[in-house]
Structure formats: C-alpha cells, structure tokens
Structure 1
Amino acid sequence: MRVGLISDTHGLLRPQALDFLRGSDHIIHAGDITGPEILPPLAAIAPLTVVRGNNDRGEWASAIPETAILRVGPVAIYVIHDLKELPIDPAREGMRVVVAGHSHKPACQERDGVFYVNPGSAGRRRFSLPISVGELLVDGGQVQVRLVTLDVQ
C-alpha cells in the first residue's frame, strides 16, 4: 500500500505535488493547509487523513483534528503537525510511524522502532529549503519511507 505524504501547503497545491500523489492508496496531509480549497483535489485522488496546523484557523479548520491515527494493516501511523507537541510515547503506544510537518524540512529518522517522517513543505518556498513530498510503502508490517524533492521553478 502506498501512503502519500504532504504538508505545509500554505494555500498552494502545486501540480507537481498532485502528480506525485496520484496512485496513492491513501494520503496524509500533516497540517498548515491554510485553505479548504486544498483538500478536495487531494481527496479526489485517495482517502485523506488531515490534521490541523498552527496556521489553520477559522471556521473551516475547526472540524480538522490536531492529531490522527491511521492503520494500514498492522502498521499504525500517528499524524501531528508539530512533533514538539507529540502527546504520546509512540513506541509505547504501538505506533510504527509518526508523520509531522511544521519545520518545512524533509526528514526521516528511526528511533526505538518508530519512523519519524517529515515530508517537508509542498507549498511556498521558505528560505532555501526544498519543495518536497513523501510516501510510505507498506507491505504487511514492513515500512519503507521515501522523500522526494519536487522540480519546481
């Protein structure tokens, strides 16, 4: 199963990001959406799990949860916008993956059997950071993580 990862769109859903996400079986948006118009094109590709980021304000964002748990077979994925606000011990709670955004820096690190994945920012460029997305490839209990820098001008 392919889980597409996107975060920090900040009101800009790039065609390159949509192209990458096509073919996903599920999509996770890790917050800082900053506009409801971002979600329908993602949901048209695959079922969508979304969390609210610190810049997601207003009535449209009030129904979006701050955290979410997605189960892909035996693999539990915890989603939160800012990793610094993580309210659980993921390893103790049986999570295999934590997906977070906020920093705009794509990263993947494994600690105590848990992958901590930040797909980076797919929206407007911040400083000299790349425009990026990611994916989780889940096969039974095995997880592979891939982060991709998008070719944008």
Structure 2
Amino acid sequence: MKIGVISDTHGLLRPQAVSALEGVDHILHAGDIGNIEIVAELRNLAPVTAIRGNVDTHRDYHQFAATDAVELGGKLFYLIHNVKELDVVPGAAGIAAVIYGHSHKPEIRWEKDVLFFNPGAAGPRRFYLPIAVGIIQITAAGKLKPRIIELSE
C-alpha cells in the first residue's frame, strides 16, 4: 500500500504535488488546508483523510476534526496538525505513525517503533524551507518506508 502525505497547502495545490501523489492508495492531509476545494481535488486521486490546522478557522472546515485516526494496510495512522499538542501516547494506543505538519519542516524520525512524519509544506514557500510532500509505503512485511519528495517551484 502506498500512502500520500501532504500538509500546509495554505490554499495552493501545486501541479507538482498532484503529480507526486498520483498512484497512491490513500492521501493524508495534516492540516492548514487553506481552501476547501483542495480536499475535493485530492479526492480525484485517492480517498482522503484530512484534519484542520490552525489557519482552517472558517466554518467550512468544521467538517474536519482537529485530530483523526485511520487504519490503512493494517496500521493505525494518527493525524494532528501541531505535534507539540500530541494528546495520546502513540505506542500505548497502538499507533504506527503520527502524521503532522505546522512547522513546514519535513521530518522523518522514529521513537521506538512509532514513525513521526512531517511531509513539510506543499503550499507557498516559507522562508528557506523546501516545498515537499511525502510517501509512506507499507511493505508486504508490514514495515513502514517513509520518504520526502521535494517539489520544484
């Protein structure tokens, strides 16, 4: 199973991001959507699980929870926009991966057997930070293989 991960679009869904996510089985959006139509566009590629971020304050975004969990390929993925507000103990809750955004900084790190994954920001460039999305492959053996894909402008 191949999972696309995107965050911090801030109203801009770049064609390069769409290309990078083509062929995925599911898309996770970790908030700061910025334009509700982005989720509809992503749904043209694959099913989407999305949460709202701190800029998603308009009433249209109340259809999205502040956090969400979804099981994909037998693994539990927990979405939260700002990882500093993490409200669960991932390992104890059976979570395989914590998906987050907010900082605009791509990050792949492991805490024990839990993947912490920030795909970076796919929307407008912020400072010197890269524009990026992520892919998480779930192997036949059930292992998570994350990677960051930097996008050109």
Aligned residue in 2 for 1:144: 145
Give the AA of the match of 1:110.
Answer: W
Q: How many residues align?
A: 152
Identity of aligned residues (%): 45
1:34–1:57 contact (8 Å) kept in structure 2: no
- For 1:105 and 1:44, the matched residues in 2 are separated by 27
Aligned residue in 2 for 1:39: 39
Aligned residue in 2 for 1:84: 84
| 1:54 CA displacement | 0.4
- For 1:149 and 1:45, the matched residues in 2 are separated by 19
Aligned residue in 2 for 1:50: 50
| SS state at 2:57 partner | coil
Give the AA of the match of 1:75.
Answer: K
- For 1:73 and 1:134, the matched residues in 2 are separated by 17
- For 1:59 and 1:86, the matched residues in 2 are separated by 24
Aligned residue in 2 for 1:104: 104
| SS state at 1:92 partner | coil
Aligned residue in 2 for 1:25: 25
- For 1:83 and 1:149, the matched residues in 2 are separated by 21
1:107–1:117 contact (8 Å) kept in structure 2: yes
| SS state at 1:45 partner | coil
Name whichever of 124-133 and 35-44 sits farther off. 35-44
- Cα RMSD over matched residues? 0.8
Q: For residues 73-95 of structure 1, what are the alpha-carbon distances to aligned partners after superposition, in whole Å with 9 as ceiling and x for unaligned?
A: 32111111000111000011011
| 1:139 CA displacement | 2.2
Q: Which runs of 5+ in 1 are unaligned?
A: none
Aligned residue in 2 for 1:72: 72
| 1:72 CA displacement | 1.5
TM-score, normalised by the number of residues in structure 1:
0.97
| 1:134 CA displacement | 0.3
Q: Which runs of 5+ in 2 are unaligned?
A: none
| 1:151 CA displacement | 1.4
| SS state at 2:40 partner | helix
- For 2:57 and 2:97, the matched residues in 1 are separated by 27
- For 1:117 and 1:91, the matched residues in 2 are separated by 15
- For 1:74 and 1:15, the matched residues in 2 are separated by 30
| SS state at 1:133 partner | strand
- For 2:44 and 2:85, the matched residues in 1 are separated by 30
- For 2:136 and 2:69, the matched residues in 1 are separated by 15
Indicate whether 1:4 and 2:37 are aligned: no
- For 2:113 and 2:143, the matched residues in 1 are separated by 11
